[in-house]
Amino acid sequence: MCVFLRASVLKQYDFVIVGASPSGCLLANRLSEVPEWNVLLIEAGERENMFVRVPIFSAYLQATSYNWGYLAEPQNYSCWGMKDQRCSYPRGKGLGGSTLINYMMYVRGNRYDYDQWAAAGNDGWSYDEILPYFIRSEKSYLGETASDYHGTGGNLDVRHLPYRTRLAQLFVDSWKELGLDVVDYNGESQIGVSYIQSNVRGGRRLTAYTAFLEPILDRPNLHILTEARATKALIDPVSRRAYAVEFVRDRTRYTVYAEKEVLLTAGALQTPQLLMLSGVGPRVHLEELGLPVIQDLPVGQTLYDHVYFTGLAFVTNTTKLSLHGDNVLTIDAFLSFLQGQGPMTVTGGVEAVAFIRNTSSSTATATPTTVPNIEYIFSGGSLAADSGSGIRSGFRLTDNIYSIYKPLEANERDVMTVNVVLLHPRSKGYMRLKSCNPLHWPRFYSNSLQDPADVETILRGIRSAMPLLGTRAARSFGTKLYDLPLPNCAHHPFGSDDYWRCAIRTQTTSIHHQMATCKMGPAGDPEAVVSSTLKVHGIERLRVADVGVIPYPTSGHPAATAYMIGEKLADLIREEWLSKDGGGGRQDN
């Protein structure tokens, strides 16, 4: 049995928000617009520092205290090239959540993704219904591409990067030659190629904290508590109503009471942990750990993630064009960064994307042809671009695998990497508590590539990228495939289907897009944890508002969706509670 110390009372608020994720920061902003409501935001981490704000350092940030540093459990089907066959599961720790350490790409996904949510019984979540919430939070600087799909009055800057390498232009021009249109992938059509739309301001990383909390720090009805580790929500077992949150700060346990609601926004990996510690989760699992069961729900039983193959590198006959460390970490580059320009403003080296639909006749589904199943993320460098420091440790590459890329450290020729992202995986994982100790990490069983169809889809993605080599743009740079075989796959002829299948299982890893652990769905859905109003089924005054509620993998990146979820829930809460409270209205920031 779990034994907990008696907690002391801190204070009472109308709303207690647990976790300063993108949706948590946005909710704190929107709910505190109502001056009569007192709002507390609890966050385990700290504020960002200046190092965080430098976009090129994204890979290095995974080795800092801004990352929880989670690892998936050892896998049989994937992560063969990672230490102990365990892929990294980085999650942001601090005000802004994973926007502190991510690659700042703003990708909403496809219209069909959200219409599928609505078709599954989630009223109010069709694309036409949620588009206004994307628009509300956005401040677009996309110029001519700003349209009915973009907003200009929100807190979140969305723009193209201020610096662009010639290699990125090669990538875009090559896809254009192959027939892809240049598109606004957050607009009417997603299939196509584009330079990335990013959350940057003045050439610096724009976190959810900077966008949504910094402008309102003077609001007297909003309190933000950092370095406070939430341990569970308190739920009355008779009334099944959430009424407080327990947390630990400075080795002291506290209780803070919520007069109206407890809102869990700690992310797709930590919110389910908090729910299970609170007595909401799979009965058998909770009873195994001696946790009381207040509500039997499939918390953490569904875990989807986008994965990507990082082993498709191309070498050119040029020099000094790629984002190799020697080209980026210079005095001139730093001085340019201070002016909001230069290569240090590039988000972890990522500059451009392409979306395609590549489905064989044997795996064709009823999904519309306008929905991509492969995303290509272009990086103007290699896995050795930083000479084996941040990138290698972030991926946890073994010495054996990294030895293949070590020759590229010399920077004699430019290298670019085309990462192949699987957007709609069939493989599905799950998570478990390690123990009833809230300070213990959960166990994450990703099951990545368990379904062979996922390997085949990535393989087709690799094959579909090969024609890039034959384009005029690529030939003008003397572009060649980097063909040093992986040691564990060398028994297959390099470039054969079997070689690539082996390489995929060796060098495919998480792109840090975990979702669906607190799946949204109607009460009749056996996998659902929350309703379409994000209320935990069977529990009053407890909601989840982070990417854990996403029911199916989208064609986008979860950060953009998290902001939308926060905007929508803010409206749902205002509609419900202002009618009960008898007034109030939306205020300006």
CA distances for 85 relative to 145, 426, 428, 549, angstroms: 43, 21, 18, 28
Question: What number of CA atoms fall less than 13 Å from residue 406's CA on the CB side?
Answer: 9
Q: Among the options 160, 285, 324, 557, which is catalytic? A: 557
Q: What are phi and psi of 364, to 5 degrees?
A: -60, 140
CA distances for 201 relative to 186, 205, 530, angstroms: 19, 7, 35
In sequence order, the 6+-apart residues with CB closer than 8 A to the CB of 144 are: none
Closest among 318, 357, 308 to 112, alpha carbons compared:
357
* CA distance linking residue 6 with residue 255, whole number of Å: 10
In sequence order, the 6+-apart residues with CB closer than 8 A to the CB of 2 are: 289, 290, 291, 436, 437
DSSP per-residue letters across 316-382: -S--S-S--HHHHSSHHHHHHHHTT-SGGGSBTTEEEEEEE----TTT--SS-TTS-SEEEEEESS-
DSSP per-residue letters across 268-303: TTTHHHHHHHTTEE-HHHHHHTT---SEE--TTS-B
Q: Among the options 160, 424, 513, 537, which is catalytic? A: 513
Is 150 noted as a catalytic residue in this protein? no
DSSP per-residue letters across 184-196: -TTSS--SEEEEP
* CA distance linking residue 253 with residue 251, whole number of Å: 7
Is 491 noted as a catalytic residue in this protein? no
Closest among 324, 298, 425, 466 to 384, alpha carbons compared:
324
> Locate tokens 């800092």: which residue?
64
Task: Give 374's strand partners.
Answer: 356, 422
Query: Which residues are designated catalytic?
Result: 513, 557
